């Protein structure tokens, strides 16, 4: 028997852009009723692409219901407070100054609903001079963590991050924190506030190199400006005959050394005392790398993958993003999935990276239009049709559903 594990969980998503709302997306995938609160003009993520609504919006607002309401208007505030009283989880990534202006702080909301789990995501943390600084994953997760400087070759320019790569990683941390708080609530009967930040998650992602720096490791301190006399490393990138990039990752040298040579047609090297086994081979790593590099350059990626798979070699390759969407391994494991009701430009999407045995994940539904579910949600909160009409006439609520082309 399968179920949606969070089918009785109500979540209020009162964030913007990606990192906070994406945590609510994972909850929606697992069956929660997620209500996305937006201002009249909608979440800016709707417009963050050359098309409207943006493909980013459809990714991170899927399977949610939309409520567009003015939180500063007394009627809008009343609707919001009714919603909070019936909610289990509140998610926001607003800056502290905006949270205070809108009276969305934990203490205020907990006074309305002591069982509420309040999930907050910030850019640089909640204390210090930069606590209220505007942040995106490219600035706080990628740049501030040291990764932007680290992930480049010597003398190369730094590069920008992939869209949302830090946002989605941080969203999973917020999701995990919310899960822990829900578990605590089961024990105590009382909700709590949980918090994470883009900066903390970027530094956690980069923490192995940072720990090496903390231990005064010179190789980490000097990276990426490695000295020219540093010996080559077998575990590096190589260019194939068809101009693809393949990455070796042989951490178990004793097990994979001879199979690697065989897979590349280099088994004759073992007759040379310099390469007789893994120990001496890695003592002569410069010559070893030269031989491996030459052999790889003569073969295509497909040929190398077949040979490495046959001999059990640990490797990776730089897959094009256009190849990811049809990767049979990813499709087989429901990582790239079809949506529930496809429309042009939204036939498939990326699954959230959590699965639970015996639990159905909700097939992704189209993200809501601005205020698409206003009447439905307000009716559930006890407002009469006349009150709902008045709220619309007074612009407390906003509805914008584009006309479909015939």
What is the CA 198 to chain-centroid distance, rounded? Answer: 11
CA distance 338 to 349: 6
Same domain, 347 and 315: no
158 and 246 inside one domain:
no
Look at residues 266, 295, 319 and tell me which one is the last residue of a structural domain. Answer: 319
Are 346 and 310 found together in one domain?
no
How confident is the model at residue 406, as a pLDDT?
44
| Number of independent structural domains in the chain | 2
CA dihedral of 341, 343, 347, 352, whole degrees rounded to 10 = -60
CA–CA distances in Å: residue 88 to residues 62, 95, 113, 169, 186: 20, 22, 9, 23, 12
User: Does some domain include residue 328?
Assistant: no
Half-sphere exposure of 199 (CA within 13 A, CB side): 14
Structural domain of residue 366, as residue ranges?
A: 10-204+334-393
Low-confidence ranges of the chain (pLDDT < 50): 1, 405-406
Predicted pLDDT at 1:
47
Instruction: Give the pairing of strands 193-197 and 89-92.
Output: unpaired
Angle between helix 19-29 and 165-188 (nearest 10): 60
Residue 379 forms part of a structural domain: yes
CATH code for the domain of 35: 3.40.50.10540
CATH number at residue 257: 3.30.1540.10
Q: Identify whether residues 366 and 311 lie together within a single domain.
A: no
* Residues 244 and 170 reside in one and the same domain: no
Q: Hey, what's the torsion of the CAs at 93, 95, 101, 107, to 10 degrees?
A: 60
Does 229 map to a domain? no
Residues 156 and 286 in one domain: no
Q: Within 10 A of 134 (CB to CB), how many other CB atoms are there?
A: 10
Query: Which residue intervals of 196-276 are DSSP H helices?
Result: 198-205, 207-214, 218-222, 253-263
Does the residue 85 lie in any domain? yes
The domain boundary, picked from 288, 319, 350, lies at: 319
Bond from prior residue into 224 cis (ω within 30 degrees of 0):
yes
d(CA 390, CA 164): 39
| Whether residue 105 is found in the same domain as residue 130 | yes
Domain assignment present for residue 399? The answer is: no
Q: Are residues 177 and 291 in the same domain?
A: no
**Residue 161 near residue 146, CB atoms below 8 Å:** no
Q: Is residue 255 part of a domain?
A: yes
**Residue 366 belongs to a domain:** yes
Whether residue 133 sits in one domain with residue 64: yes
Query: In this structure, are 134 and 71 located in the same domain?
Result: yes
d(CA 144, CA 146): 6
Residues 298 and 166 in one domain: no
pLDDT of residue 219: 84
C-alpha distances in angstroms, 317 versus 78, 113, 180, 242? 54, 50, 36, 13
pTM: 0.93
**Last-in-domain residue among 319, 342, 369:** 319
pLDDT for the residue 227: 59
Evaluate whether residue 155 is within a structural domain. Answer: yes
**193 and 301 housed in the same domain:** no
Q: Determine contact, residues 197/128, Cβ cutoff 8 Å.
A: no
């Amino acid at each position: 028997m399968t179920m949606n594990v969070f089918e009785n969980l109500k979540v209020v998503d009162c964030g913007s852009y990606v990192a906070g709302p994406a945590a609510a997306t994972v909850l929606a995938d697992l069956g929660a009723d997620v209500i996305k609160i937006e201002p009249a003009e909608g979440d800016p993520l709707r417009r963050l692409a050359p098309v409207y609504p943006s493909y980013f919006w459809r990714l991170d607002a899927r399977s949610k219901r939309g409520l567009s309401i003015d939180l500063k208007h007394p009627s809008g505030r009343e609707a919001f407070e009714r919603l909070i009283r019936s909610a289990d989880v509140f998610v926001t990534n607003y800056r502290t100054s905006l949270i205070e202006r809108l009276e969305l702080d934990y203490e205020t909301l907990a006074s309305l609903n002591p069982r509420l789990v309040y999930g907050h995501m910030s850019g640089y943390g909640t204390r210090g001079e930069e606590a209220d600084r505007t942040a995106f994953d490219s600035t706080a997760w990628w740049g501030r963590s040291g990764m932007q400087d680290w992930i480049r070759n010597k003398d190369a320019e730094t590069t920008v991050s992939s869209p949302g790569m830090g946002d989605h990683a941080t969203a999973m941390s917020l999701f995990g924190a919310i899960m822990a708080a829900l578990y605590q609530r089961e024990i105590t009967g009382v909700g709590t506030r949980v918090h994470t930040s883009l900066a903390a998650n970027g530094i956690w992602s980069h923490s192995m190199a940072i720990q090496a720096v903390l231990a005064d490791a010179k190789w980490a301190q000097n990276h990426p400006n490695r000295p020219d006399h540093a010996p080559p490393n077998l575990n590096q990138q190589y260019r194939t005959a068809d101009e693809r990039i393949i990455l070796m990752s042989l951490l178990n040298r004793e097990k994979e050394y001879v199979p690697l040579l065989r897979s590349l047609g280099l088994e004759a090297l073992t007759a040379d005392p310099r390469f007789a086994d893994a120990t001496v081979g890695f003592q002569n790593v410069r010559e070893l790398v030269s031989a491996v590099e030459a052999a790889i350059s003569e073969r295509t990626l497909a040929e190398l993958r077949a040979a490495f798979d046959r001999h059990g070699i640990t490797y990776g390759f730089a897959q094009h993003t256009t190849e990811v969407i049809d990767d049979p391994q990813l499709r087989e494991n429901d990582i790239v999935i079809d949506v529930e009701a496809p429309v042009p430009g939204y036939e498939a999407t990326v699954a959230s990276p959590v699965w639970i045995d015996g639990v159905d994940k909700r097939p992704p539904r189209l993200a809501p239009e601005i205020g698409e579910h206003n009447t439905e949600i307000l009716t559930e909160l006890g407002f009469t049709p006349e009150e709902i009409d008045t709220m619309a006439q007074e612009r407390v609520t906003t509805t914008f559903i584009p006309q479909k082309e015939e």
